[in-house]
Amino acid sequence: MQMFEAMIIVRRAVGLAVAAAGMLLALPPIAGPSVAQQGNLVRQGAGQGAVQGAVQGSGQRSASFKSPEAAFEQGMGSWRGGYIEQAIPALRYAADHDVFLAQFYLARILSDSSTPYTDHSGAYHLYRKIAHDHANVDPDDDQRAAFVAKALTALAGYVRTGLPQVNLRPDPVRAVEYLRHAAQFFNDEEAQFDLAKIYLHADGIPQDARSGLHFLSVLTQRGHAGAQAFLADIYWRGRYGIKRDQLRAFALVTVAVENAPEGERVWIEDMYHNIFCGLSTGTRSQAEGMVADWRQKYGRALSTPRYGLGALPPQAQRTCSSGEPVPVLPPARTQAPGGASGAPASSATSTIGSGAGKMLDIGVTRTEPPRR
């Protein structure tokens, strides 16, 4: 624990220097690993030890497997097919033999509160092991980096709220340390989004609206739907020193709905509903040009749900209190920001002025160097 804390301090210093220079390293969103990646990651993790007692009590079942790698492949096959009960013992066997991806995906399964297999104690121990064992992996060249960042973010969630099952008391300061490491060292978008909300809400730490708005602005320009919707709400309400701007709020929440992944659409559609119904027809028409401009600049390419197991799209018909129907916006099918490949442009600036095509002026200039 002490060694990891020292490492976090060093990494945080490096991360803060990088952020100050505006050089957050680009990392693609996490996705299901390819067959080749699975093989590499399994070989990296296998045979290095055991996860002792991390997942006790989570659907215990005796099973025998040819090897930890074979157990992992079997577990992932069952999971892809929706047979979670069969996946758990196979993934547990592989995780107990330190197969890296087995630890990660088993933690994901156990942390899901919507299934009968939830075991937050087991998930916490697995995420903690991943974070502490792999906090120093290369964020650019190590295939485990994206998974470590997600583990750090999940671990921060447990630490922030506490977990009575393991006598873990809420510690928002330590949670922020984990998130900063994921956000700044690994450039993880979800960690950056969580940090932005914590900074703005002063959730257990002093408020830092400037940093929170900075993260929201950068994420918005990358096409992050949650950040776009959150920032739209700030424009709509006029909070954190930002002047109320109905046009920007409507343009941004429209793009957010179109960018939203299936699992996030409901709450973002709620926000769109609120803003849409609060505007006159003339104001909506006035915003059409800005919507088209921002859709092109800040749209995100439609992604396919991992393993084809995405949530069913919501079909509710929404109406304003006046009875006016709220249009159902389809998911975006636009080019990702920066080009077809989804990579950011070689030079991007986050200085935001007052023009109609600008985003948010928080006094921060961030210029990204060319990607390696």
Give me the mean pLDDT over the 223-228 stretch. Answer: 96
pLDDT of residue 330: 63
More confident residue, 261 or 21: 261
Average pLDDT over the chain reads 76
Higher-scoring residue by pLDDT: 323, 46? 323
Tell me the pLDDT tens digit for each residue of 113-130: 999 999 999 999 999 999
Alpha-carbon Rg for the chain, nearest whole angstrom, is: 22
Weakest mean pLDDT among 34-38, 134-138, 145-149, 318-322: 34-38
- In this prediction, residues 131-157 reach a mean pLDDT of 96
Q: For the chain, which residues make up each domain, given as ranges?
A: 208-372
Q: What is the pLDDT of residue 63?
A: 64
Residue 11: predicted pLDDT = 46
The predicted pLDDT at position 204 comes to 86
* Of 324 and 305, more confident: 324
Residue in this structure with the two tokens 């080009």, named with its chain if needed: 339
Q: How confident is the model at residue 325 (pLDDT cuts 50, 70, 90)?
A: confident
Mean pLDDT confidence for 213-220 = 96
pLDDT higher than 50, residue 308: no
- pLDDT tens for each residue of 45-98: 443 443 444 444 444 445 689 999 999 999 999 999 999 999 999 999 999 999
pLDDT exceeds 80 at position 304: no
Burial group, residue 117, by CB count within 10 angstroms (0-12, 13-18, 19+): middle
pLDDT value at residue 303: 53
Percent of the chain with pLDDT over 70: 66
Token pair listed for 278:
């609060």
Q: Tell me the C-alpha distance between 336 and 282, whole Å.
A: 30
Q: Which residue type is seen at 354?
A: S
Residue 158 has pLDDT above 50, yes or no: yes
Specify the pLDDT at position 321. Answer: 74
| Cα 177 from Cα 7, distance rounded (Å) | 11
pLDDT-based confidence at 174, cuts 50/70/90? Answer: very high
Neighbours of 199 (CB within 10 A): 23
Q: Report H helices in the chain.
A: 2-21, 35-45, 68-80, 84-96, 100-110, 120-133, 145-161, 172-180, 189-201, 209-222, 225-237, 246-259, 265-277, 281-286, 288-298
For position 231, what pLDDT does the model report?
A: 97
pTM: 0.71
Structure-token pair, residue 357: 């095509």
Q: Which pLDDT belongs to residue 317?
A: 62
pLDDT at 316: 57
Section 327-331 average pLDDT: 69
- Percent pLDDT > 90 in the chain is 60
> pLDDT confidence of 331, banded at 50, 70, 90?
low
Kindly state the average pLDDT of the residues 145-169: 96
